Amino acid sequence: MTAAATAHSAVAGASQDAESPSRLGWRRFRRNRFAMAASALVLLFVVLAVFAPWIAPQDPNDADLLRRLQPPVWMPGGEWAYPLGCDALGRDLLSRIIYGARISIFIGAAVIVIATGIGIVAGLAAGYFRGWVDAAISRLVDILLAFPYLLFAIGLMATMGPGLQNIVLALAYKEWVIPCRLVRGETLALREIEYVEAARAVGASSGYIMAREILPNILSPVIVVSTIRMAHVIILEASLSFLGIGVQPPTASWGSLVADGRSFIWDAWWISTFSGLAILLLVLAINVASQGLRDAFDPRLHE
């Protein structure tokens, strides 16, 4: 036995919690200060998005050419009413960023929800029924995985045309394979255990088994993975919008805001910088929080 292993086993044996695994997980999560702070930040963004009309200082689409490329408040020429400065059309940057949160978060959430829904259904089917269903779905998954993410989305967008609805679909078309693969793996494992019970409960339909027996057990890792993926999706959407293939004006997600500021990067650096900073902060917060989530609920780390 290695020296460190001795220490470990001695400590592990010392505490025996009788709580349910999920309660235990939440307690661990709460103890992680970084994860808690990150979650608060995510919540802040969501609040900003939901209550944008009440929080934003200005109308995001109110163009005032007199304020064209006005610098942020701490630089000469700035004013408090427009704290982060204005863009090329004189629109308040902060307000645009706040409203942009709506778009970016909505798209991220929509994609994840749709993809997870499809992924769970497909994964359950593939893992439970096996046979040709599994073969077909797994084949499809392999093929979709062969495409680099951004490329596939670009191809789809080129085909379907730009716009908010299409971007959600385009991203979801590839994203579902991730939860699908996970669910399939878990289902395959659980199936062996649950199958015996199912055999005894003769008459229980497959659907029943899948929904009541298997699904609750796979939800936990699926949720953790989905939160991690959400960060990815937000960056992807931003990239697509940056390239101009994503949301179209007048709708503005953070990606398009960064693109707007690109031409003025020399004299009005704040447009791109703060828009991108918003993306960075939200994604960073999601990553830290989901990492904390995973650490708290991962059974392997805490045996």
Partner 1 sequence: MSFGKLLERLLQLIPVMLGVSAIVFAMILVTPGDPVDIMLGEQNATPEQREALRRDMGLDLSAPERFVHFLGNAATGNFGLSFYHRRPVSEVILERLPATVELTLAALVIGLVLAIPLGVIAAVRSNGWLDRLATVGSLLGVSMPGFWFGLLLMLLFGVWLQWLPISGRSDLAGQVPQVTGFLTVDALLAVNFKAFFSALQHLFLPALTLGLPMAAVLMRVTRASMLEVLRQDYVTFAHAKGLGGRRVLYLHALKNALIPTVTMAALEVGSLLGGSMIVETIFGWPGLGRVVVEAIFTRNYPLIQAAILLYALTYVLVNFAADLLYTTLNPRVRL
Partner 2 sequence: MKGAAPEMHTAVSSTPLQATAPPMHAPNPDALLCVRGLTTRFPTPRGWLVAVDDVSLDVLPGECLGVVGESGSGKSVTFASVMGLVRPPGQVVAGEVWFEGRDLRTLDAQAMRRVRGKRMALTMQDALTALNPSLTVGQQLTEVVLAHDERLATLPRAQRRRQALDRAVEMMSLVGIPAAATRLDDHPHQFSGGMRQRIMIAIALACRPQLLIADEPTTALDVTIQAQVLELIGQLRRTLGMSVVLITHDLGVVTEQCDRVIVMYAGQVVESGPVAQIIGAPAHPYTQGLLRATPRVEHLGAPVRPIPGTVPSLIDLPAQCRFLDRCSLAAEACLAPVPMAHHPTAHRVRCVRAPVQPETVT
Q: Which residues contact partner 1 (rule: CB under 8 A)?
A: 2, 4, 139-140, 142-144, 146-152, 154-161, 231, 235, 238-239, 242-245, 255, 258, 262, 265-266, 269, 272-273, 275-276, 279-280, 283-284, 287-288
Near partner 2 by CB under 8 A, which window of 3-11, 113-121, 172-180, 287-295? 3-11
Which of partner 1, partner 2, none does residue 14 bind (CB under 5 to 8 Å by kind)?
A: partner 2
Our CB check for partner 1 shows the closer of 191 and 255 to be 255
Which of partner 1, partner 2, none does residue 13 bind (CB under 5 to 8 Å by kind)?
A: partner 2
Residue 2 is a binding residue for partner 2 (CB under 8 A): yes
Our CB check for partner 1 shows the closer of 191 and 232 to be 232
Our CB check for partner 2 shows the closer of 1 and 66 to be 1
Our CB check for partner 2 shows the closer of 35 and 124 to be 35
Please, what is the minimum distance in Å from the beta carbon of residue 125 to partner 1?
Answer: 19
Residue 265 is a binding residue for partner 2 (CB under 8 A): no
Which of partner 1, partner 2, none does residue 280 bind (CB under 5 to 8 Å by kind)?
A: partner 1
DSSP string over the chain: --HHHHHHHHHHHH----S-HHHHHHHHHHH-HHHHHHHHHHHHHHHHHHTHHHH-SS-TT---GGGTTPPPTTSTT--TTSTT-B-TTS-BHHHHHHHHHHHHHHHHHHHHHHHHHHHHHHHHHHHHH-HHHHHHHHHHHHHHHTS-HHHHHHHHHHHH-SSHHHHHHHHHHHHTHHHHHHHHHHHHHHHHHHHHHHHHSTT--HHHIIIIIIHHHHHHHHHHHHHHHHHHHHHHHHHHHHHTSSS-TTS--HHHHHHHHHTTTTT-HHHHHHHHHHHHHHHHHHHHHHHHHHHHH-GGGG-
Residues 7 to 26 in contact with partner 2, rule: CB under 8 A? 7, 9-11, 13-14
Please, what is the minimum distance in Å from the beta carbon of residue 76 to partner 1?
Answer: 18
Which residues sit at the interface with partner 2, rule CB under 8 A? Answer: 1-4, 6-7, 9-11, 13-14
